[in-house]
C-alpha cells in the first residue's frame, strides 16, 4: 500500500469525522452522572472495569455518599465494600477519598475545571481529566484515549502507537482532529467500537467507515 500523503490523510479524517457525526450524532459519555464530581468518581471506578458495571454501582453509591464531604469523611472499609465489584477497590477507594478531601480543602468543594489542577488530584491521570473536562465542562483540552479509541485509531491508521503509549496516541489524534471535535470524536469511537468495530470480530460489512479504513476486512 502506497504511503498516504498528509493531504490525503487529512481528507480521509474529515470524511471519517463526518460519517461519525452522521451515525452517532448524539454520542456522549456512557457513564451515568449528574455532577462533575459524580463523573470524576465514575471515571475513577471505570479503570479496568466496564461502564456497565460502574453504572450499576453508582446509584447506591451516590445515594450513600451524596457530596464530596461525605466521601471525604467515609469509613474506608465501607466505601471499599460499596465499590468492590468494580475491581481494584482498595486503591480506588483511597483515591476517591483523597480526591474528595483535596477538593473540599483546596477548592471549596467544587471539582476544578482545568487540566493541571485536576491532574494534581489523587487517582486522576490525563485520561480521567479529559473525560471530566470534555464531558462535564465542555472543554476540549485533550482526547480521551481508552481501549476502544486505541484499537480503532490503529485500525484506521491514525496512529501507529500501541496501548501502552496513550500519550503519543493522543498527540497523534490531536494533530488530526479539529479541536472542537476532540470530545465528540472519542465518544463516537467508543460507541463504534462497542457496536461494530469490536476487538475480536469487527463487522466490516456493516461499517460505514470501511471504505476509508485501511484495515477493513483485515482486522
Radius of gyration of the chain (CA): 19
Annotated catalytic, 218?
Answer: no
Domain-wise residue ranges, the chain: 6-28+143-212, 36-110
**Which residue among the candidates 146, 162, 172, 195 is catalytic per the annotation?**
146
Annotated catalytic, 162?
Answer: no
In CATH, the number for domain 36-110 is 1.10.340.30
Instruction: Write the Ramachandran bin of 211: left for phi over 0, alpha for psi from -120 to 50, otherwise beta.
Output: alpha
Q: What is the DSSP-derived secondary structure letter of residue 211? A: G
Mean pLDDT per 10-residue segment, the chain (219 residues): 86 98 97 98 96 98 98 98 98 98 97 97 97 98 96 97 92 97 98 96 97 93
Cβ–Cβ < 8 Å for 156, 15 = no
Q: What is the DSSP-derived secondary structure letter of residue 4? A: P
> So what's the architecture of 6-28+143-212 in CATH?
Orthogonal Bundle (1.10)
Cα–Cα dist 144/59, whole Å: 24
Q: How far is CA 127 from CA 10, 135, 185, 215, in A?
A: 25, 12, 14, 26
> Which pLDDT value is given to residue 65?
98
**Which residue among the candidates 51, 127, 141, 172 is catalytic per the annotation?**
127
> Which pLDDT value is given to residue 51?
95
Amino acid at each position: 500500500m502506497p504511503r498516504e500523503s498528509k493531504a490525503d490523510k487529512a481528507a480521509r479524517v474529515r470524511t471519517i469525522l463526518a460519517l461519525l457525526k452522521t451515525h452517532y450524532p448524539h454520542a456522549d459519555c456512557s457513564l451515568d452522572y449528574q455532577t462533575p464530581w459524580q463523573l470524576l468518581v465514575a471515571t475513577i471506578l471505570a479503570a479496568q472495569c466496564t461502564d456497565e458495571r460502574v453504572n450499576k454501582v453508582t446509584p447506591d453509591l451516590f445515594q450513600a455518599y451524596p457530596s464530596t464531604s461525605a466521601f471525604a469523611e467515609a469509613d474506608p472499609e465501607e466505601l471499599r465494600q460499596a465499590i468492590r465489584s468494580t475491581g481494584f477497590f482498595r486503591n480506588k477507594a483511597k483515591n476517591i477519598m483523597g480526591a474528595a478531601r483535596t477538593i473540599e480543602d483546596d477548592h471549596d468543594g467544587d471539582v476544578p475545571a482545568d487540566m493541571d489542577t485536576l491532574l494534581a488530584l489523587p487517582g486522576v491521570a490525563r485520561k480521567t481529566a479529559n473525560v471530566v473536562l470534555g464531558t462535564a465542562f465542555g472543554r476540549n483540552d485533550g482526547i480521551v484515549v481508552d481501549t476502544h479509541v486505541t484499537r480503532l485509531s490503529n485500525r484506521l491508521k491514525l496512529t501507529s502507537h500501541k496501548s501502552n503509549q496513550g500519550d503519543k496516541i493522543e498527540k497523534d489524534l490531536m494533530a488530526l482532529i479539529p479541536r472542537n471535535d476532540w470530545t465528540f470524536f472519542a465518544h463516537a469511537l467508543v460507541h463504534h467500537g462497542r457496536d461494530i468495530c469490536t476487538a475480536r470480530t469487527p463487522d466490516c460489512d456493516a461499517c460505514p467507515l470501511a471504505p476509508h479504513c485501511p484495515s477493513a476486512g483485515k482486522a
